[in-house]
Chain A
Amino acid sequence: MFFALPFLGLLWRAPWGDAWSLITSPDTLDALRLSIVCSLWSTGLSIVFGVPLAWLLARGRFPGRSAVRALCTLSMVLPPVVGGVALFFALGRRGLVGQWLDRWFGIRLPFSTPAVVLAQTFVAMPFLVLTVESALRQLDRRYEDAARTLGSSRWYTFRRVTLPAMRPALIAGAVLAWARALGEFGATITFAGNFPRTTQTLPLVTYLKLESDPPEAVILSLLLIAVSFLVILGLRDRWLGGFTSGG
């Protein structure tokens, strides 16, 4: 009930007659395009940096490992706005790192599309890291031993044995991270601002419309729900459902 009621509320208030014209309006399409592009970028970044990080957390033996994991979990439970503020003071024009980026390379991250990607990655990556890390921990390492006795180097073993075995977890983690990135609001609006076509993602438009044009906000909300729902459904049937790892 608790989970279903809000959806029913949305469906009840939806101005179905105008739905199609609203969805296909240039503003909405721009925001939708930006949302999808940014969330895919941040999912990609999460995989590229998250998988090695998960590997280190699960297998590495280095001082401060639990601190790194705690930090990772922290950014997951942190209010996204706080994350955005933190990013701002780290990478902003006068930030800890940002001032040097500006001075040396002329890079100004805040209020740009890369800032959106960065904010989304910041909140989304922990979902992938923790999912993949827990899968790595549960993996039967004897399969990797078996590969090694067959003459397989560590990298070849990782590629041909470990990675396929954790594929379901990797996909699940990527989907979670992507869904989180798509819905990201707080960190984005704080760090990247709210500029149409460069940083105004669908959740931001939805929030603004709630004040100016509530029925449109309803439609946009439903659009967001529909996009995530379709992707998760599609993925589950193709990869997650009935997938039992055997190696």
Chain B
Amino acid sequence: MRLAARVGLELGSLKLDVEIEAEPGEVLAILGPNGSGKTTLLRCLSGLQPIDRGRITLGDRVFDDPETGAFVPAEERPVSVVFQDYLLFGHLSALENVAFGMRARGVARGTARVRAREWLERMGLREYASTRPRELSGGQQQRVALARALATDPHLLLLDEPLAALDASTRASVRRDLRDHLAGFDGVRVLITHDPLDAYALADRVAVLEAGQFTQTGTLADVAAHPRSRYVAQLVGTNLLRGTVTGTAFAGAGGGSLTVEAESDGPTYVAIPPQSIALYNNPPAGSPRNVWRTTVVDIDAHFDRVRVTLADPLPLTAELTTAGLAALDTRPGDSVWASVKATEITTYPA
């Protein structure tokens, strides 16, 4: 059953206005910074929050349509949610947590328990059936939450930051487990995250949500290669400038100019990998056509790599080795020469 949703909603300062389509068997990741409306969107899909405008359908079932007044409340939607901090019921055992949804839907106690036990076994938690959630590790809690969500046989599974509550040491293994368990579910899956690694590991497609709007959708490789916002550029670790190109001459929206390789005309984005920007104390001799004088704003170390932020009008970040920085001998506020080869610059229409 296919998910098709147009969601328009004003809630406080948030103005949500997005369109989602997802096929069964697909994992769609909604990637966005805090406050972009991710969780609100999830509440709309699950039925905890009615929408102002638009229409939400799963298969041929209309969940929410303000125009006709149709609204299916959360408890009647075949939609399950794995919440950010799992929200397992603290007064119930792991088994009773998993059985909860079936019991709520009128399945007899014995049957619900047998099926809940099967789910726990599938999640590798057979010996934790009678354990209370707070005595389980973060990864185990997540598996109980997933079993609880899947035990009601949903057609749409929503996951809200399923890995955010875990510490770094267990994240990788839990992420791997989660991917395996998700693979066994054939409904529509929508994952909400602020971490591109989660999206990369778990999702087929991403939609980038910023301030209530999708700024970009597509495969992660596609999005990473052609970022269309500063947020995405930062996530994938590249420089992004917006401006106008005439032939091979690029003029930045905030000033500054660069020569690019591909010829085109009109508003454009340019992406420049930080590794391709070279810095010098003196004007460099030789081939690069893009050479300009600028000021160092900030220097930031990442393991054996150093990121140097440059001043306007071309606010770029250059990545150097630690040895390279030592040779340059520069500090924030110092003046440097920067250069980048035209062949290293990617351009695509804005």
A contact residues vs B (CB 8 Å cutoff)? 142-143, 145-154, 156-157, 160-161, 164-165, 167, 245-247
Contacts and interface: CB of A to CB of B under 8 A. Distances in A.
A149 B48 contact: yes
Contact of B152 (A150, A156, A160): A150
Contacts of A247: 87-92, 133
Nearest to A154: B75
Contacts of A154: 75
Contact of B87 (A143, A151, A167, A245): A143
**How big is the B interface, by class?**
20 to 34
Majority SS of interface residues in chain A?
helix
12 contacts: A143-B89, A145-B48, A145-B87, A147-B100, A147-B104, A148-B75, A149-B46, A150-B100, A151-B105, A152-B100, A154-B75, A160-B89
B104 A153 contact: yes
Nearest to A153: B75
A246 B132 contact: yes
* Most chain A CB neighbours (cut-off 10 Å) among B77, B87, B103, B105: B87
Given A142-B87, A161-B89, A246-B132, A150 B148 contact: yes
Contact of B80 (A145, A150, A153): A150
Interface in B192-246: none
Contacts of A142: 83, 87
B91 A165 contact: yes
A29 B171 CA distance: 66
A156 B104 contact: yes
Contacts of B83: 142, 146
B90 A151 contact: no
Interface in B80-102: 80-81, 83, 87-92, 100-101
Contacts of A145: 43, 48, 74, 87
Contacts of B75: 148-154
Contacts of A147: 89, 100, 104
A167 B92 CA distance: 14
A150 B104 contact: yes
A140 B263 CA distance: 57
* Most chain B CB neighbours (cut-off 10 Å) among A142, A145, A148, A150: A150
Given A145-B48, A153-B75, 9 more contacts: A145-B87, A149-B74, A149-B81, A150-B75, A150-B149, A151-B75, A246-B89, A246-B133, A246-B134
Contacts of A146: 81, 83, 87, 89
A245 B100 CA distance: 18
B316 interface: no
* Most chain A CB neighbours (cut-off 10 Å) among B75, B80, B81, B152: B75
Nearest to A246: B90
B97 to A, nearest CB: 9
B180 interface: no
Given A160-B100, A246-B132, A151 B91 contact: no
Contacts of B89: 143, 146-147, 160-161, 164, 246-247
B79 interface: yes
Contacts of A161: 89
A150 B86 CA distance: 13
Interface in B147-179: 148-149, 152
B76 interface: yes
* Most chain B CB neighbours (cut-off 10 Å) among A148, A149, A157, A167: A149
B50 interface: no
